[in-house]
Amino acid sequence: MTPRSPFPLALKHGAIGAAAVLLATACSTGEGDLTGAAEKAVISISPEDGAEKVPFGEPITVSAENGEITDVTVEQTDPSGEGEPDTSMTGALNKDKSTWTSHWTLIPGSEVEVTAVAENADGEETEATGSFVAAEAPEGQRLEVKDDTFERGLSTDTEVGVGMPVIIDFDMPVENKAQVEAAMEVSSEKPAQGAWNWFGDKRAVFRTEEYWEPDQTVTVDLNLAGVEASDGVYGMENSSFKMKVGRSQITEIDNDTHRMTVERDGKQVKDFPVSLGQDTQHQFITRSGVHLTMEKHTDYRMSNDTLGVKPGDPGYYEEFVEYAVRISDSGEFLHAASWNGMLGEANTSHGCVNMAVADAGWFYDESLPGDPVDIKNSGRDMEVDNGWGFWVRPWDEWVEKSALGKADDTSKPGTAGSPHSTEKKDEEGEQEEKQETGA
């Protein structure tokens, strides 16, 4: 990702219009004319002050004559007055710092206020402001984020495992997937290559090439306001959340040896006997491939009535288990099975990973959502869309299926796909943006 502008901007529904020139009194004071004094900076802001129904797909531009732009802020406010102003807009300077251009589209229907500061050759400051109103998005054509990664009851205070994906669900189908991908930024404190994939038209998933480095914060910025997600359908707001990646815990389970090993921060800490799914019926075979821990329950009812099998039918079962940790949407769990006398010797379960009670209790206590659980040698493959099975898709294929067709470096926060920037992902483009933003 390319470097982020040092100038925070607030967006809340916006648009663009004609340029207006606003000249403000310099912040510094002085009496009398000084021979050779530099001319005051003159600031121009577009859209013009007082403009209404400004198209939210056009950029905000700030220009300065006789000086360099030193600060730009944008506040986008809901006309109803509800909520705090959105100040998430970012932008970039050109090389001589005389022009600033916003990165992102405006929030539909918002009241936008732009404040800019420029400095002349003598260090004298000039400040200017401009206000305008963005156009409204049509009723029934307003895209919103339905759920995010924390759809399963997690919160930003919850630590996650190193395999945790970013999952974004929308309330309407997205046709312009590349535009939406480009507006969703994922940045991390430690380097990683990552990319988005789509599962249907309403779900976007971001994962990295390798697992996250442990003990860091991952930030997700959804710059969706004003983005045309489908024909005539526009994003309504910007949002942001963080994931706290905890220690690395990676579990490997071998269907053939009936053993389960747990590695913590690169060192093996546990080796458990287990029993996986019996091969008497294909539906009972535990799937091979990387799973992720999704949720956990101290007590949980399990039955194949979810598959349409009724009491009295051949093969029907109902069990109440302890320390159940889900690893797929198809009903695979790691859980205690005090009745199973074949742990470490044979596979006799209905598809779950059976464990001794004490072992299952330890795993339950030590699990974070997003911990990888890699099951091997069962002869039945995990599906990529089965819960959080995203790691079973090879990385080359994952990048190929991204609408943008390329990976991002998440350690470089910024605006990799902003609609108003000309930034490039190659080395030359990165150097150019660095000069533009003054970073």
The SS3 assignment for 436 reads helix
Q: What tokens were used for 67?
A: 């000086």
Instruction: With residue 180 as reference, give the H or E element that holds it.
Output: helix 177-182
- CA 206, CA 225: separation in Å to the nearest integer? 20
* Domain 142-247+394-420 in the same topology as domain 20-28+37-134: yes
The string of pLDDT tens digits covering residues 2-11 is: 333 333 323 2
Angle (nearest 5°) at CA 90 between 84 and 96: 140
Q: Residue 200: which residues within 8 A CB-CB, separation 6 or more? A: none
Q: Say how many CA atoms lie within 13 Å of 199 toward its Cβ.
A: 18
Question: ω into residue 47 within 30 of 0, thus cis?
Answer: yes
Q: What whole-number distance in Å separates Cα of residue 327 and Cα of residue 290?
A: 9
Instruction: Return the CATH number of the domain spanning residue range 142-247+394-420.
Output: 2.60.40.3710
End-to-end CA distance of the chain: 14
pLDDT tens digits, 269-306: 999 999 999 999 898 999 999 999 999 999 999 887 87
CATH architecture classification, 20-28+37-134: Sandwich (2.60)
For residue 432, the 8-state DSSP code is: H
Positions in the chain whose pLDDT score sits under 70: 1-35, 147-156, 413-418, 420-439
Q: What is the DSSP string of 328-339?
A: -TTS-EEEE-TT
Q: Catalytic residue numbers? A: 335, 352
Per-residue model confidence (pLDDT) at position 61: 97
Q: Are 131 and 114 in contact (CB under 8 A)?
A: yes
> Which of these, 424, 425, 437, lies nearest to 193 by C-alpha position?
425
Type of residue numbered 129:
T
Q: Are 70 and 118 in contact (CB under 8 A)?
A: yes
Cα 438 from chain centroid? 26
Which residues, 6+ apart, have CB-to-CB distance to 307 below 8 Å? 283
Check: CB of residue 277 under 8 Å from CB of residue 252: no
The domain segmentation of the chain, as residue ranges, is 20-28+37-134, 142-247+394-420, 249-390
Q: Superfamily assignment of 249-390 in CATH?
A: L,D-transpeptidase catalytic domain-like (2.40.440.10)
204: helix, strand or coil:
strand
Least Cα distance to 369 among 148, 149, 145, 147 occurs for 149
- For residue 62, what pLDDT is reported? 98
**Given this model, what pLDDT does residue 34 score?**
52
**Length of the chain measured in residues:** 439
Residue with tokens 């490039």: 424
Distance, in Å, from the CA atom of 173 to the CA atom of 296, rounded to the nearest integer, reads 31
